[in-house]
Amino acid sequence: MISLKNHFIFIPLSTMNLKNDLILRAARGEELERYPVWLMRQAGRILPEYRSVRASLSGFKELVETPERAAEVTIQPVDILDVDAAIIFSDILVVPEAMGLPYEMIEKSGPYFKNVVRNENDLIKVEFQFDVEDRLSYVFEAIKIANKELGGRVPLIGFAGAPWTILCYMVEGRGSKTFSESRKLLYTNPILAHELLNRISLVTIAYLKQQIKAGAHMVQIFDSWAGILGADQYREFGLKYIEKIVDSIKDVPVTVFSKGAISSLNEICELNCNTVGLDWNMNISKVREMIGETKTIQGNLDPCALYGSHSEIEQSTISLMNSFSSKRHIVNLGHGVYPDIDPEKVKTFIKTVKNYELHF
Ligand code: 1CP
């Protein structure tokens, strides 16, 4: 605790030894010498080094559940791509699994849950009063190992899915283009939906707090399926629960990324978070007008821009940064990096951000 006259600023011990804390300063709206940069889904998929670790194991879940290996692939993008932050290698689906709905990750298809939640009977199976520290210990262990191996080179980002997105997988049991079973539930049994969202929120709060205790320097909430709800439903079934989560996290900066929630941006900007993540369809200047200097914006280059040539990538990254009218930015893509992107193209994106001179 540092005392400045009568003000007390809580600086967690773990952030004091960081060699590069740019992303934390950006999130808090502090002085910056350049913009920080990282990529959603940077750990995995695009790197041959990831694929070789993955191939040495039985599958995705073994990687997620083996802390030493999860830590290893967490650090790969820092070593290879030179990003300004690591994100712990895990998945949003560990939460529904801990709540009693195990999943399988099927090769080339995606997640599959044998049990789903469609009625009150199914809800009985959904646990929410259990020891999160114990049941998800492999994630916290991976965070500790990753930080140790990073040795303070960059901050480590923790994360969780937003309750609405987690509900989508619990109800649907797999990925979907429409998530119509999940949306159907909001009309046919809103009480059940609220009870499920409430349970997910309670577990998510405990989970994120435990990630922070293990050493996560900031956390991000991914609401990947925010955009499939209209503004009124997103307020009731989405934002209400994100609000509970952000209001419970005090010690580290929080980022909210509600993909596709264009009609709710004004309400998202009112949340008690430090950073708002934008997808590539969202207009940075409009959001900046809405929030002034009160929040940091993260994003939002179209992930497909990385299919362009190296010079086109430089151009689009520079024009993105030229559009900023403030220092409060974390440069990222507007969604996760696609698996077939050439890592050399990702490096060009990162170098362009690092070489850009701030015009403020
Ligand atoms: O075998 C593999 O390598 C599978 C690919 C993969 C990877 C690398 C999956 C399966 N998950 C992950 C890791 C992962 N997932 C991370 C790691 C850290 C990083 O960002 O580098 C993170 C943050 C996630 C988060 C995640 N998982 C989200 C939210 C972010 C987003 O992209 O919208 C979602 C929706 C998931 C579910 C999921 N996990 C994996 C798949 C194929 C899916 C999507 C299923 C669907 O299409 O609905």
**103-157 confidence digits (pLDDT tens):** 999 988 999 999 999 999 999 999 999 999 999 999 999 999 999 999 999 999 9
What ligand 1 atom has the least distance to the C-alpha of 174?
48
Are 301 and 320 in contact, with CB atoms under 8 Å apart?
yes
Residues of the chain with pLDDT > 70: what percent? 96
What is the rounded CA–CA span in Å between residue 330 and residue 280?
14
Please give the order of strands across the beta sheet that includes 296-301: 86-87, 156-161, 218-223, 254-258, 275-277, 296-301, 329-333
Is residue 42 classed as helix, strand or coil in its secondary structure?
coil
What ligand 1 atom has the least distance to the C-alpha of 59?
1
**248-277 confidence digits (pLDDT tens):** 999 999 999 999 999 999 999 999 999 999
Q: What is the DSSP string of 200-251?
A: HHHHHHHHHHHHHHHT-SEEEEEETTGGGS-HHHIIIIIIHHHHHHHHH--S
Q: Is 70 in the pocket of ligand 1 (CB under 6 A)?
A: no
Is pLDDT of 345 > 80?
Answer: yes
Rg (CA), the chain: 20
Q: Determine the length of the chain.
A: 360
Is pLDDT of 2 > 90?
Answer: no
What is the rounded CA–CA span in Å between residue 66 and residue 139?
9
Q: Is 336 in the pocket of ligand 1 (CB under 6 A)?
A: yes
Residue 210 confidence (pLDDT): 98
Residue 11 confidence (pLDDT): 53
* Average pLDDT of the residues in 64-88: 98
**154-164 confidence digits (pLDDT tens):** 999 999 999 99
Tell me, in angstroms, the distance from the centre of ligand 1 to residue 336's CA: 9
Tell me, in angstroms, the distance from the centre of ligand 1 to residue 110's CA: 9
Residue type, 22: L
Is pLDDT of 3 > 50?
Answer: no
Q: Which domains does the chain have, with CATH numbers?
A: 12-355 (3.20.20.210)
Is pLDDT of 339 > 50?
Answer: yes
Which residues are known to be catalytic? 41, 45, 54, 91, 169
Instruction: Kindly state the greatest CA–CA separation across the chain.
Output: 58
Is pLDDT of 354 > 60?
Answer: yes
Residue 16 confidence (pLDDT): 63
